[in-house]
Amino acid sequence: MKTFVFSKGIEKDINIVISKNIIKNIIKKHDNTYGSFIILDTKLRNIIKIKNDHTYIKGGEEAKSLDKYLYLCELINNKKYNNIIAIGGGNVLDIVGYAFNTLNFEKNNLILIPSTLSSFVNLPLSGNFYANMNFTRNYLKVTGYPNYIYIDQNFLNYFNTQELKKQFLIPYIIGLLYDKNHSKLSIKYSSSFENLDYDNFLERNIKYIIDFYNHEYTFPGEKISKLIFKESDLLKMDYLEFLAVSFLFLIYISYNKKEISKEKYEEIKNDILKLNILKRDNLKKISFQNTNSTLKEIFITENGYKEFILSNSDIKDNILDFKQII
């Protein structure tokens, strides 16, 4: 068992625990505890057995719909729950965190248990939880943090190779920010799943992501996605699909601004293509969304990263060429 602490000054400490088979102990404890309510991704229905108070939420962007939020609110308000436990991918954790922090009830702990590699490595530490509304992704936002995050890598045994391969995009990007060897290892791991030991890989990644969110950054590609995709298209796409396109576009701008060499740009582009995330149909949807506003994003440099202010012209001047070469 390995424990990390993400501290927000005097406000709150979030305990992050990595341990194989820890999910069994968490379920055993809270499935028999009065005041505990467990919310699971529907994909886990046949994997995790719950006897007492629980419900299921289908993953994907639809998990963050207003209907799902109201559904959770009604369930939580019906009984005097104090502990809310969410088990699932990033969208399920997001809507549960949103409900927990908007409802007025006697709260004890918000416990989040990610079940995908993407949610293992991009932990819910941004300080915000989101819900979708008005056909807009992340239209609603509330501030909040979990009390505990538990990571059980045994969840990865339930993914087929194609699903798991795509999820290495997140640690790959984190490696580009902090450690090129971490990026190389992410690509290597995405090609072979036999007898992999994720312990050191996850521990190193968590140290990086804690540092990243301590600086209160937004994950690179998140902000710019709203300026190159229509909101309706973002809701239809899987998170990794639009993130791969958005991040690659940022890399292209970094190259044109001479932050990285052509060789580095080509290397990153080829690595992302190896993950089999990019879809031709999604690339066709890219278009300049004129908002008349500047945008602060993360740029990859030759030796790490830096924040950069993007103007409308930066996006407009690069987007057509990017579509043609990708």
DSSP notation for 140-206: EEEE---SEEEE-GGGGGGS-HHHHHHTTHHHHHHHHHH-HHHHHHHHHHHH--TT---HHHHHHHH
Choose the CATH number for 2-169 among 3.40.50.1970, 3.10.420.10, 3.40.720.10, 3.40.50.1860. Answer: 3.40.50.1970
Q: Are 77 and 104 in contact (CB under 8 A)?
A: no
Amino acid at residue number 280 = R
Phi, psi of 10 (to 5 degrees): -90, 0
* pLDDT given at position 21: 87
CA distance 80 to 70: 17
Amino acid at residue number 139 = Y
* pLDDT given at position 62: 94
CA distance 22 to 227: 41
State which residues of the chain have pLDDT below 70.
Answer: 9-11, 194-195
Q: How far is CA 84 from CA 111, 112, 249, in A?
A: 6, 8, 38
* pLDDT given at position 286: 92
* pLDDT given at position 293: 76
Q: Is the pTM of this model over 0.85?
A: yes
Annotated domain spans of the chain? 2-169, 220-326
State the average pLDDT for the chain.
Answer: 92
